[in-house]
Chain A
């Protein structure tokens, strides 16, 4: 029985890996860019399956929501925008002809050169990874030993919000920085259509939006003990926001600029303030008082959830919402 399972999973592994590699290659080198993006989205989906296979359900959840879903939607809408501008714009220079992109750019000589370079890279990497021992516990033993002190029972959440919480604090900073950078760059389009003429879509949204928000809250809550957490929940919240934007439901919300900005920064500010408060109480930066880890983590995660959801959703908008005074 066990041998059968082992064999079957080997077959599964091989097909999965080959499919992933084929999709990766095709998505980047397909002569039709739109088809490339579609394959890119499928690649993200398969990667999420691979993460599950590699016993990383937390990552798989995040990949399914962020890596495949949101990134795909972002790239797709950017493609649509670029094509629209191309058609509006000047009958442009040769290089904006996208159907030609397979041949465009680098000359054959440098293609060969870069190909050789990439193969050398692959060889070196292969050489390095073949040296790894088949078994290693990494820091699993240490993290499981300290898990009871962390305040949560999901080890990944413990690492993210307690053992290596400082990384996560800076990462929430990266999220905020990204949206600041995007807002500095451009103004977003007036989002959404009027959906009153699409009753079917409207009723789908009426069902989908609350479910998304509910699922986001569920993932946040369950993150303490099972796969899930602020990032995964935030991504779902972002999905809800994207739908709201597409359906033109979020217009009034987008005009409340101060509120929006406060929501975006909430994660960083609460997290940093918690770090300083902990420093004041216990003498260690981000060192939660003994026995209160769970509560502190929940507060921080709740604030982070809002900021993550808003940030990822507004990234889809692709720019600052309205003209600022």
Chain B
């Protein structure tokens, strides 16, 4: 019974909050805090049920699949919900100050619309992670995409509007590719339920094409190289808390669906050759993204390209987790890496927002000269960088370590090389920022002092990005629940 309420509140809580924040524009922050409380409670209830009783299923409307829609919570879903909750909570605290700080009309407008859009994004993510139905996933993808685009456009300047427009085109076209795949799957298997599909899907031309369409759409949404072109401008030009949400969560929604498709519903079509292709694209993303990050003139662009690179690591999970031997090592490694990246990237974008706030720009080469970045922000950026590079004891290290072990166990040494080169490049671009932008200039002071809550939330996420690694055993255990193979 508790689980049913958890399912309902995790989705409907933020959804109703979004509607209320629209009706009462001045109460946005309070509504969001209430939603955070409700979802946190619901999540705790759910995680207890999952730890005690295994995978939880809710048959919406009392109808079971194939006619009805099933919601499902396994270890993976619960982990994703936790990351979403933590980051959304941090963004709620941060944004309460971020949008309020300049008292002009424009920022009042922005704050008024930020809250409902943000809550829609949150509802869409929770609905996505709980869904076990590929058509329902399409609806959540559209909710997610609309909210993300509208949030990017909220920045309102020329570049933000243009990148939002491009983002919308990519996002809508990708959704249609996905939906066409769903149509073919339904025509062939007469169901859209993930679990039933796992039993019914037999390799054949129709399903190959269907899966290719769905995967193509999702890869564009997940911004895997070479379909990443829309990401850096969109993520770099959005307001800072929005950038954090996009980089930490939104792209991972598409990645999550890819996992569900290739490891569960269509596991019978997952061949080693396909897995190697995914891995290859991931490797290319790591190298291309990191190399580009090195040469970005602006801090937010650098962090955005770093996202392109870090997303590549996630796709190494495909060739590594598909193998029997050490598969679970890679599976848990990749997902811990995902959580680590989400926290670290949130910290980085929030810090970048703080710097932008203090200095009025984020040109890396000029930052050191004119402003003195307060130690908390420096520390937060450094800690997050630690996790991004993958130095012990951070959670980035834990994730990479598991992935490395898996590739060594399986003799796929080429991924080891890629990961090591990627780490070196990450170290280079993090150090570039730390040495050039954060150097202390004796007399410089920040033109605008940074509100403490904005600094402390960034730091908290950075601490989480490191500290999560110390308790990495717990998520690994959680991920065991409902893992797609025995």
Contacts and interface: CB of A to CB of B under 8 A. Distances in A.
A131 B154 CA distance: 46
A261 interface: yes
B16 A283 contact: no
- Which among B7, B19, B63 has the highest number of chain A CB atoms within 10 Å? B19
Given A167-B136, A184-B113, A272-B12, A174 B69 contact: no
B69 A166 contact: yes
Interface string A35-71: 0000000000000000000000000000000000000
A173 to B, nearest CB: 6
Interface string A285-325: 11110000000000000000000000000000000000010
Given A163-B67, A180-B113, A279-B5, A124 B120 contact: no
A324 to B, nearest CB: 7
Nearest to B136: A167
In this complex, the interface size class of chain B, counting residues with CB under 8 Å from chain A, is 35 or more
Given A181-B117, A285-B7, A285-B58, A142 B69 contact: no
Given A142-B67, A167-B135, A265-B22, A180 B150 contact: yes
B112 interface: yes
- Which among A167, A171, A180 has the highest number of chain B CB atoms within 10 Å? A180
B205 interface: yes
A289 B127 CA distance: 24
B292 interface: no
B136 A170 contact: yes
A138 B186 CA distance: 8
B23 A265 contact: yes
A164 B190 contact: no
Contacts of B7: 285
Contacts of A264: 22
Q: Do most interface residues of chain B lie in helix, strand or loop, or is the interface mixed? A: helix
Given A173-B120, A262-B23, A264-B22, A279 B8 contact: yes
- Which among B8, B25, B58 has the highest number of chain A CB atoms within 10 Å? B8
B346 interface: no
Contact of A269 (B16, B25, B136, B206): B16
A261 B22 contact: yes
A148 interface: no
B67 A139 contact: yes
Contact of B60 (A174, A276, A284): A284
Interface string A173-205: 110111011011100000000000000000000
A139 B69 contact: no
A283 B62 CA distance: 9
A166 B120 contact: no
Contact of A143 (B25, B67, B146): B67
Contacts of B191: 139
A229 interface: no
B59 interface: yes
A94 interface: no
A268 to B, nearest CB: 5
Nearest to A187: B109
Contact of B209 (A124, A142, A162, A170): A124
A185 B153 contact: yes
Interface in B24-49: 25
Contacts of B109: 184, 324
A181 B66 contact: no
Nearest to B161: A185
B69 A164 contact: yes
B265 to A, nearest CB: 17
Contacts of B23: 258, 261-262, 265
A146 interface: yes
Interface of A: 124-125, 127-129, 131-132, 136-139, 142-143, 146, 162-167, 170-171, 173-174, 176-178, 180-181, 183-185, 258, 261-262, 264-265, 268-269, 272-273, 275-276, 279, 282-288, 324
Nearest 5 Cβ contacts at the A-B interface: A181-B150, A184-B113, A287-B62, A128-B209, A265-B19
26 contacts: A132-B187, A132-B206, A136-B190, A139-B67, A143-B67, A163-B61, A164-B69, A164-B136, A165-B60, A170-B140, A174-B143, A176-B19, A177-B120, A180-B18, A180-B120, A181-B149, A184-B150, A184-B153, A262-B23, A284-B4, A284-B58, A284-B59, A284-B62, A285-B4, A287-B61, A324-B112
Given A164-B68, A184-B113, A284-B62, 12 more contacts: A125-B180, A138-B186, A142-B67, A164-B61, A173-B15, A177-B120, A181-B150, A185-B153, A265-B22, A284-B4, A286-B61, A288-B61
